């Protein structure tokens, strides 16, 4: 079975990850082996020492990246990248400069009028933890539905160290990759396609985050 197509080896019919059998040919399925999503052809790479950080007029370009201030507590700043994709790998490299800083990526960000919905993966270096959530927001109202909430990982470096946060997604399979190591596989099919993005936040107080680079690749 292919991690990208999620189709039955016997009849070629579409599959849902974790299904006990194929709905078309009724062949039993075995999911014991690891489903790996890998980076393919590169869509883009941005070096924020030289490239402008999209979506933030307050970011300060420095010799080591773009400094993003998040002045309010429990607040976020974010920006997006083209193109709109269903299957991709999106990674951001950065440094939380204080204990309140967090950062990560958006995937399948879709807008309808002034309403937006997306998957968000963020790390919290002070807590060595990460969260994967579905978000939907309009104006000042936001609805959050956690897929994985406050998961500790020794793969995450602490405050002041460089971390790379990556979300790989294909069909309904999402893989959390932290500093090049696979941390978790999650299945969800709420949002179908959309933009990629970066996000920096403050939890619990105001923070500063240094973003060094971002890249996106085709999922395979």
Whether 101 and 58 share a structural domain:
yes
Cα gap 57→55, rounded to integer Å:
7
Mean pLDDT of 185-202: 94
* CA dist list (Å): 139 to 38, 107, 142: 36, 20, 8
pTM (2 decimals)? 0.86
Domain range for 30: 1-35
Query: Of 138 and 123, which is predicted with more confidence?
Result: 123
pLDDT category of residue 1 using cuts at 50, 70 and 90: very low
Per-residue pLDDT tens over the stretch 124-159: 999 999 999 999 988 778 899 999 999 999 999 999
Q: Which of 31-35, 68-72, 83-87, 153-157 shows the lowest mean pLDDT across its residues?
A: 31-35
Whether 150 and 182 share a structural domain:
yes
Query: Of 57 and 197, which is predicted with more confidence?
Result: 197
Evaluate if residue 2 carries a pLDDT over 50.
no
- CATH number of the domain at 83, please: 2.60.120.560
Whether 24 and 43 share a structural domain:
no
Q: Which of 136, 70, 133 is nearest to 105 (CA)?
A: 133
Whether 122 and 86 share a structural domain:
yes
Whether 19 and 118 share a structural domain:
no
Whether 12 and 60 share a structural domain:
no
């Amino acid at each position: 079975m292919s991690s990208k197509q999620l189709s039955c080896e016997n009849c070629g019919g579409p599959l849902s990850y974790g299904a006990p059998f194929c709905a078309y040919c009724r062949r039993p399925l075995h999911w014991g082996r690891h489903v790996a999503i890998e980076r393919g052809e590169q869509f883009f790479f941005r070096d924020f020492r030289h490239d402008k950080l999209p979506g933030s007029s307050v970011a300060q370009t420095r010799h080591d990246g773009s400094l993003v201030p998040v002045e309010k507590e429990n607040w976020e700043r974010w920006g997006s990248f083209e193109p709109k994709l269903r299957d991709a790998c999106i990674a951001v490299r950065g440094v939380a400069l204080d204990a309140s800083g967090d950062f990560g990526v958006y995937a399948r960000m879709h807008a309808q009028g002034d309403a937006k919905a997306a998957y968000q993966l963020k790390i919290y270096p002070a807590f060595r933890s990460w969260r994967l959530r579905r978000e939907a927001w309009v104006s000042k109202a936001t609805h959050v539905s956690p897929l994985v909430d406050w998961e500790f990982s020794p793969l995450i470096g602490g405050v002041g160290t460089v971390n790379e946060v990556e979300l790989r997604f294909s069909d309904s399979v999402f893989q959390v990759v932290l500093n090049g190591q696979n941390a978790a596989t999650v299945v969800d099919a709420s949002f179908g396609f959309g933009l990629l993005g970066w996000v920096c936040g403050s939890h619990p107080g105001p923070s500063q985050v240094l973003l060094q680079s971002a890249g996106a690749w085709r999922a395979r």
